[in-house]
Amino acid sequence: MMVTSLSLIACGGGSHDHDSHGEFESIKITSYHQAIVANTSQNLVVIGSFDDGHTEVVKELTWKSSNPEVATIDDNGTFSALSKGETEIYATHDDLTTEKLTIFVISAPITDLSLTMEKSALYVGSKSKYFAIAKVSDTEEVDVSLTSVYSSSDNSVATIEGNVATGVAVGDVSFSATFTDATGNKFTATPFQISVSIAQLMDIKISASVETLAVGSSSQFVATAIFQDEKTEDVSSRATWRSSDTNVVTVSDSGVVKAIAAGTATITASDADDNFDDEVTVTVQ
């Protein structure tokens, strides 16, 4: 069985004596391969952090694999891939536990890498995840998004941190991803090109706490704008409000509805260009 040893970059000035810094505040698996070929192995390392900012390698650990038929991991952190599948691994030290990480055991070495987008568009101020998919064969592929390295062709248009892209300004941009397998082979996905644009208004919705009012009472109605990027905004003070019968109810420029006389009337809120609107029927008793 081939063993892949992971290099460790020292954190916080190197290793420190545990006793001089108290107890660990948190522990974290620092580096691992998200996809590993069956019948190979990798050594995992956990770093502990103290409240004074110092870090050191955690040596006394109990490791757990959720699917030991796919892979096992011993108390030294040696992860042994046995058969195709996936497993979650984590380590504990005293009362601390690392986050659970999913590792895929694949049947053969990776041959290619592609990049896909969570959403079909990216807007200024919005975010979207990208997924790095490693191809093993025509029938086998795995998601290696968490351990791929991403870059943007123009950070003034859009940035990407981890696998999450953020639109910064209107323009064209491309994202790339690189994945390094357990043997050191690097795979780079074909750049994903996209145009960043301003999210347009898609709809307006009215929300009312009550739709039946007593004569002389008032209620604040709220107009919410819904945009292409799925963001919403309270536009009650900027919407155009109308009442179908001001003898029954009136509505202020900010959406305050006042009951005048018994009857029914329709309250409407629309955008400035009157392209989108919503209405609510109000009953006055």
Q: Is the pLDDT of residue 194 over 50?
A: yes
pLDDT exceeds 70 at position 8: no
Q: Of 80, 54, 76, whose CA–CA distance to 67 is shortest? A: 80
pLDDT reading at 4 higher than 50? no
pLDDT tier at 23, thresholds 50, 70, 90: confident
What does the pLDDT look like over 215-236, one tens digit per residue? Answer: 999 999 999 999 998 899 999 9
d(CA 11, CA 95) in angstroms, rounded, equals: 22
Q: Average pLDDT over the chain, rounded to whole?
A: 90
pLDDT at 12: 39
Residue 283's contacts (CB-CB under 8 Å, 6 or more residues apart) are 211, 212, 213, 263, 264
- pLDDT over 80 (residue 162): yes
Compute the average pLDDT of residues 204-224.
Answer: 95
For 70-123, the pLDDT digits (tens) are 999 999 999 999 999 999 999 999 999 999 999 999 999 999 999 999 887 899
Confidence of residue 2 (pLDDT cuts 50, 70, 90): very low
| Predicted local confidence at residue 9, as pLDDT | 31
Segment 45-51 long-range contacts (CB within 8 Å, at least 24 positions apart)? 45/6, 45/8, 45/77, 46/77, 46/91, 46/93, 46/98, 47/8, 47/11, 48/24, 48/93, 48/96, 49/12, 49/24, 49/25, 50/16, 50/21, 50/22, 50/23, 50/24, 50/25, 51/22, 51/25
The span from the CA of 125 to the CA of 147, in Å, is 25
Q: How far apart are alpha carbons 256 and 243 in whole angstroms?
A: 11
Name the pLDDT band for 273 (thresholds 50, 70, 90).
confident
The band of 191, judged by pLDDT with boundaries at 50, 70 and 90, is very high
What is the band of 127 on the pLDDT scale with cuts at 50, 70, 90? very high
Residue 213's pLDDT is what?
96
> For position 1, what pLDDT does the model report?
45
Residue 35, pLDDT > 90, answer yes
